Amino acid sequence: MIDRATIDKIFETADIVDVVSDYVTLKRRGVNYIGLCPFHNEKTPSFTVSPAKNICKCFGCGKGGNPVNFIMELENLSYFEALKFLAKKYHIEIEEKELSPEEIQKQNERESLMAVTEWSQQHFTSNLYNHIEGKAIGMSYFMHRGFREDIIKKFQLGYAIDKRDEYTLAAQQKGYKLDYLEKTGLTIVKDNNYVIDRFHGRAIFPIHSISGKVIAFGGRAIKKDDQVKYQNSPESEIYHKSQALYGVYFAKNAIIREKKCYIVEGYCDVISMVQAGIENIVAPCGTALTSEQIRLLRRILPSVDNDKNEENKNVTMMYDGDSAGINAALKNGKLLLEEGLNVKVVVLPPEDDPDTFAQNHNASDVLAYLNEHETDYIIFKTTHFLEECRRDPIKKAQLISDIANTIAVIPDLIKRSVYVKECARILETDEKIFYAQIDKVRSAKLENEIERIKNPQVKTPSFLNPEISSPTANNAGNEGQTETFVQSQTNQLPQISGCFYDEEKNIIQIVVKYGEKVMCEVEKETKIPLADKEEREDGEEEEKTETTIQSITVVKYVKNQLDSDGLTLNDAIFKQMLDEAVEQISKNPNFCTERYFIYHENPIISKMASDLISEPYQLSKIHTKMKKVETDTDRLFELVPHIVMDFKFKVISYKIKTLQEKLRTPMKDNELICIMTEIQNLQKVSRTLAAKLGEIVYLPSSRF
């Protein structure tokens, strides 16, 4: 476990702008920063980072929070894993005892898998430098490929000893369980626990996440008789190949700097190009390019000003000059266009791939070739098929339709019009034909989207109204005072948090933002015991009192108001937050609710607090009729009581509605009279609350 002092130090040190900038390109906007959300696909930035509050929030999907919340969500880590992640980033030492095998087994599975891959990379790299076979075969292979030693170290390349179970035995001796070795895919377990190292005798290429963690491996065959050239780690809890890009961790800073990214096919293509000076380069991990990989890439590209900086979103596909490479470029280009990227193609000479081309040319020649031979993707696609279509009208018609369909996926209207004009000229076709096909494609897509919105495949939850016990005859005639009656009636309400969620959220929002602030001050008189009894002339004892000023904080006011009516918050998280605020503020005179909850050890609470302080309190229709004051802080005396009364009003309204529904069922006369009397009393309470809120309420009359 991590001690509280270290956790506090991590929270104090971790800067939200610095943390988020490792994953998202941010641009200052006023006092905050804004960028494209890393949690969902968006084209207009809605992800806001607040340095003053040290939180982030996406106003599109709602995700965000403090630095720990952000890392937990993005890296899919547990709370303590995220703390360790940030501690490592900021060089904060965490003293933890060495875990026993039993404790390792109890670790979170994801943490255990990450520990396995991290150690495995070190093991494979160590083989390369310290094992006789690793030096003789593994290092010789990389040197033969032309990789410099600094590049080998940078990419943490390694070698797996050519023995059936050498890796597995070494890992088990270090305390790593066979179950986790199997789940990472590094060990294959067959019948009777017969184990085989997946990568034995292969050159190892570690695959890193965008944050630099090793999540998987690629193994390149070295022996000529090996039938499988490349083997890759299988899917696991920590590795999804459709979402990972090889080299992205090493390339992200260069991509931001150059405002461009090159995409190649293989691991060696990336490494050789980096060695040649092209650092802004990535590759899919043994798969065709996927939408998830493109979105990962798009988040890195400096594209926060979507309309102004279109030139910043550049991707160039670099493929072999053979037919397979060209076909890959033609297929992947459309996916890139759909994400609003500027897409270009570089076709290398037929005898080369990116690896051999980089090895056979110096850095300046490589860069010069790329700059001179870059071709716009749509123009490349149009001209590539043009020759074979010139004498075949059917093929030409198909090409026109295909090009129009490709242009149709481009989000930007101006870009589409420019491409239409150019492609119509190349294909010697009327622009109107292109526009007609584009409109057809986009209209169909729009109709599908509208249909999806109209008919979402989401089940709406329903709440059953439980039976509420009938009031007794004694209660029927008791009108009582408002506070007493509210308490007596609300005790019977069903605990359904969904009924009052918005009102409870407003209460907690005001508690988190202003909980420790003094809302008002009241005079309190207390009797003072007399040391020497003073007597008046008539012999009677004289009483002495002392008047003191008592400060009422927002937390204390809310708690007292709810307690006076016997109310509690139904939502478990909200109730815990209010209870902790009451407890903490009584202990610590310098207690700050906002800071306490933002850095709460429960990530659900800290995320909730971050969300609440990110949004201004939205006045309901009740409050819009009140006189507007400049700031929420200035109007706490007005605002807080209204928020609490909102909740009470909703509780009473719910109770009235429930009882009126019950009147629709057959019942005895005495029971009917009791319920009607109860409704009338509740309506009086409701009118009283409404009068205080300044709201005219029209209560439905009974059919009786």
Higher pLDDT, 479 or 204: 204
Q: How do 47-50 and 32-35 pair as beta strands?
A: antiparallel
Q: How far is CA 549 from the centre of its chain?
A: 47
Task: Identify whether residues 305 and 439 lie together within a single domain.
Answer: yes
Using the predicted structure, report yes or no on whether residue 263 has a pLDDT greater than 90: yes
pLDDT tens-place string over residues 574-621: 888 999 988 888 877 778 888 888 888 788 888 888 888 876 544 444
| Cα–chain center distance at 691 | 43
Whether residue 689 sits in one domain with residue 576? yes
Binned at pLDDT 50, 70 and 90, residue 493 comes out as: very low
On whether both 425 and 340 belong to a single domain, the answer is yes
141-146: list long-range contacts, CB under 8 Å, 24+ apart: 141/203, 141/220, 141/222, 142/203, 145/268, 145/272, 145/355, 145/359, 146/272, 146/275, 146/359
Q: Are residues 572 and 483 in the same domain?
A: yes
DSSP state of 623: G
In 75-194, which ranges are E strands?
158-159, 187-189
pLDDT band per the 50, 70, 90 thresholds, residue 634: low
- Determine the pLDDT at residue 324: 74
Whole-number pLDDT of residue 469? 29
Residues 299 and 418 in one domain: yes
Contact 682, 689 (CB under 8 A): no
Residue 303 domain flag: yes
At 469, the amino acid letter reads S
Mean pLDDT along residues 484-506: 55
- Going by pLDDT thresholds of 50, 70 and 90, the confidence category of residue 274 is very high
Q: By three-state DSSP, how is residue 566 classified? A: coil
Number of domains in the chain: 4
Among 62, 89, 116, where does a domain finish?
A: 89
Output phi, psi for 260, to 5 deg. Answer: -160, 150
Average the pLDDT over 481-487 and give the result. Answer: 36
- Over residues 96-118, the mean pLDDT reads 69
d(CA 59, CA 251): 29
DSSP 192: G
Q: Is there a single domain that holds both residue 32 and residue 173?
A: no
pLDDT digits (tens, 9 = 90+) for 513-555: 888 888 777 666 666 655 554 554 555 555 566 666 677 888 8
Per the domain annotation, does 247 fall within a domain?
no
Q: Copy the structure tokens of residue 636.
A: 């706490």
Say if residues 246 and 284 touch (Cβ distance below 8 Å): yes
| 206: in domain | yes
Q: What is the mean pLDDT of residues 238-264?
A: 90
Closest CA to 489 of 670, 680, 671: 680
Which CATH number fits the domain that encloses residue 58? 3.90.580.10
Range of the domain at 12: 4-89
- Distance, CA of 302 to CA of 310 (rounded, Å): 9
> What does the pLDDT read at residue 379?
93
pLDDT of residue 694: 56
SS3 for 263?
Answer: strand
Which of 158-162, 335-339, 623-627 is predicted with the least confidence, judged by mean pLDDT?
A: 623-627
pLDDT at 691: 64
Residue 130 lies in a domain: yes
CA terminus-to-terminus distance, the chain: 65
In the prediction, which pLDDT does 487 show? 39
pLDDT at 690: 64
Instruction: Please compute the mean of the pLDDT values over residues 150-175 and round it to a whole number.
Output: 95
Tell me: do 509 and 655 sit in the same domain.
Answer: yes
The whole-number pLDDT of residue 311 equals 59
Per-residue pLDDT, 375: 92
pLDDT of residue 138: 95
More confident residue, 2 or 376: 376
- Per the domain annotation, does 540 fall within a domain? no
Does 309 have pLDDT greater than 80?
A: no
Distance CA 156, CA 154 (A): 5
DSSP 312: G
Residue-wise pLDDT for 501-523, tens only, equals: 888 888 888 898 888 888 777 66
What pLDDT is recorded for position 307?
38
pTM value is 0.61
The string of pLDDT tens digits covering residues 55-79 is 999 888 888 889 999 998 888 778 8
Q: Which of 172, 204, 239 is the last residue of a domain?
A: 239
Q: Please name the residues in contact with 236: beta carbons below 8 A apart, sequence gap of 6 or more.
A: 113, 183, 184, 185, 216
Mean pLDDT over 611-634 rounds to: 53
Residue 200 shares a structural domain with residue 316 = no
Q: Both 573 and 429 in a single domain?
A: no
Distance CA 158, CA 167 (A): 12
Please give the residue that has the higher pLDDT: either 695 or 678. Answer: 678
Q: Which residue has the tokens 């988020």?
A: 20
Structure confidence at residue 459 (pLDDT): 35
Q: Within 13 Å, how many C-alpha atoms sit on residue 138's CB side? A: 29
Q: Residues 286, 223: one domain?
A: no
Comparing 233 with 526, the larger pLDDT belongs to 233
Average pLDDT over residues 199-204: 95
Question: What pLDDT does 81 receive?
Answer: 84
Judge if 206 and 260 occupy the same domain: no
In terms of Cβ atoms closer than 10 Å to its own Cβ (0-12, 13-18, 19+), residue 442 is: middle
Residue 432, domain CATH: 3.40.1360.10
Q: Give a yes or no: residue 511 inside a domain.
A: yes
The answer to whether position 473 is within a domain reads no
Is pLDDT larger for residue 190 or for residue 324? 190
Amino acid in the structure at residue 442: R
Confidence class of residue 205 from pLDDT cuts 50, 70 and 90?
very high
Residues 669 and 615 in one domain: yes
CA dist., res. 231 & res. 89, Å (int)? 32
Q: Which of 37, 54, 89 is the last residue of a domain?
A: 89
pLDDT, residue 107, reads 53
* Per-residue model confidence as pLDDT tens digits over 408-460: 988 888 889 999 999 999 998 899 999 999 888 888 877 776 666 555 443 33
- Whether residue 539 lies inside any domain: the answer is no
Is pLDDT of 465 > 50?
no
Which spans in 228-360 are helix H? 248-258, 267-275, 291-300, 323-338, 354-360
CATH of the domain at 209: 3.90.980.10
569 has a pLDDT exceeding 70: yes
Count of C-beta atoms within a 10 Å radius of residue 517: 16
